[in-house]
């Protein structure tokens, strides 16, 4: 597609369940980023992929969070045993040159 | 800790008022600087950028920003705001310039322009 696509757009899950969030970047963009946007917190960096490898996972808040990218394209962010503090908007961005970021619409995750 | 600080979380202005949103960063050395904007219901998008050269950069929709290296600042300005400028504005920095890869964002400033 022409832009970064994220799915689902909204997800409500029960505390303790696992969730998977998907990001389909702009075709040809080798860099992919995940950010978390919480109310009043701005954008919190989670992880960066260059191709299929993740040189920087420093932003993942706990070992319940993991991400992978396959084929240099689609990425999945997985949150295991979700907690209420995981509720946020999860944003994916892709970039051709690691400078200009193109964002998706985000996935709004609500843990109840 | 190294960070990007935006001075105001919420700003309310009337149409035609002038706007200045503050941004300071704490990274030394070369940096690339950005302002991103998120209009209601839309995705984040780039408003303007600074890499090098003239410290006064102009972006879309009449916005401009000034890089003051000595103050580690990159404030966003617009002489006369419009109702359509209502949005959330994020200052962002790539430490290390083009050698870096991680864009660090400020907490954002929500601007509401009254018609």
Distance separating alpha carbons of residues A34 and A36, to the nearest angstrom: 7
Determine whether the interchain pair A42/B90 forms a contact, defined as Cβ–Cβ distance below 8 Å.
yes
Helix, strand, coil percentages, rounded to 5, for chain B: 10, 50, 40
Mean local confidence (pLDDT), B81-94: 96
What distance in Å separates residue B32's CA from the closest CA in chain A? 8
pLDDT surpassing 80 at residue A40: no
pLDDT surpassing 80 at residue A31: yes
What distance in Å separates residue A19's CA from the closest CA in chain B? 22
Does residue B76 sit at the A interface (CB-CB below 8 Å)?
no
pLDDT surpassing 90 at residue B85: yes
- pLDDT reported for residue B29: 85
pLDDT surpassing 90 at residue A20: yes
Mean local confidence (pLDDT), B51-62: 93
Determine whether the interchain pair A31/B90 forms a contact, defined as Cβ–Cβ distance below 8 Å.
no
> What does the angle CA A45 – CA A51 – CA A52 come to, to the nearest 5 degrees?
85
- pLDDT reported for residue A108: 96
- DSSP letters for A37-80: EETTTEEEEEEEEETTEEEE-TT--STTEEEEE-TTS-EEEEE-
pLDDT surpassing 60 at residue A1: no
B contacts of A94 (beta carbons < 8 Å): none
Strand partners, B36: B46, B90
**Which of A5, A42, A108 is best to mutate for the B interface (most B CBs within 10 A)?**
A42
Q: Give the model confidence (pLDDT) of B5-47 as tens digits.
A: 998 899 999 999 999 999 999 988 889 999 999 999 999 999 9
Q: Give the model confidence (pLDDT) of A73-103 as tens digits.
A: 999 999 999 999 999 999 999 998 878 899 9
pLDDT surpassing 60 at residue A60: yes
Mean local confidence (pLDDT), A59-71: 94
Q: What is the average pLDDT score of chain B? A: 92
For B103, the closest of A101, A104, A105 (CB atoms) is: A101
């Amino acid at each position: 597609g022409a832009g970064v696509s994220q799915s689902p757009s909204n997800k409500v899950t029960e505390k303790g369940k696992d969730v998977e969030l998907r990001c389909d970047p702009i075709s040809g963009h080798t860099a992919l980023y995940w950010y978390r946007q919480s109310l009043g917190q701005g954008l919190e960096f989670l992880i960066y992929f260059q191709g299929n490898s993740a040189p920087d996972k420093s932003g993942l808040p706990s070992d319940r969070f993991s991400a992978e990218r396959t084929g240099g394209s689609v990425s999945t962010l997985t949150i295991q045993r979700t907690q209420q503090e995981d509720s946020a908007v999860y944003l994916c961005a892709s970039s051709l040159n690691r400078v200009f970021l193109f964002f998706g619409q985000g996935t709004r995750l609500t843990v109840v | 800790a190294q960070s990007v600080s935006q001075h105001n979380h919420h700003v309310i202005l009337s149409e035609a008022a002038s706007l200045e949103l503050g941004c300071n960063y704490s990274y030394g050395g070369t940096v690339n600087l950005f302002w991103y904007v998120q209009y209601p219901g839309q995705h984040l998008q780039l408003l303007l950028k600074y890499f090098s050269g003239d410290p006064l950069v102009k972006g879309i929709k009449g916005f401009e920003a000034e890089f003051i290296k000595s103050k580690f600042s990159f404030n966003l300005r617009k002489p006369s705001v419009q109702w359509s400028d209502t949005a959330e504005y994020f200052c962002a920095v790539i430490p290390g310039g083009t050698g870096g890869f991680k864009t660090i964002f400020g907490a954002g400033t929500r601007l509401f322009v009254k018609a």
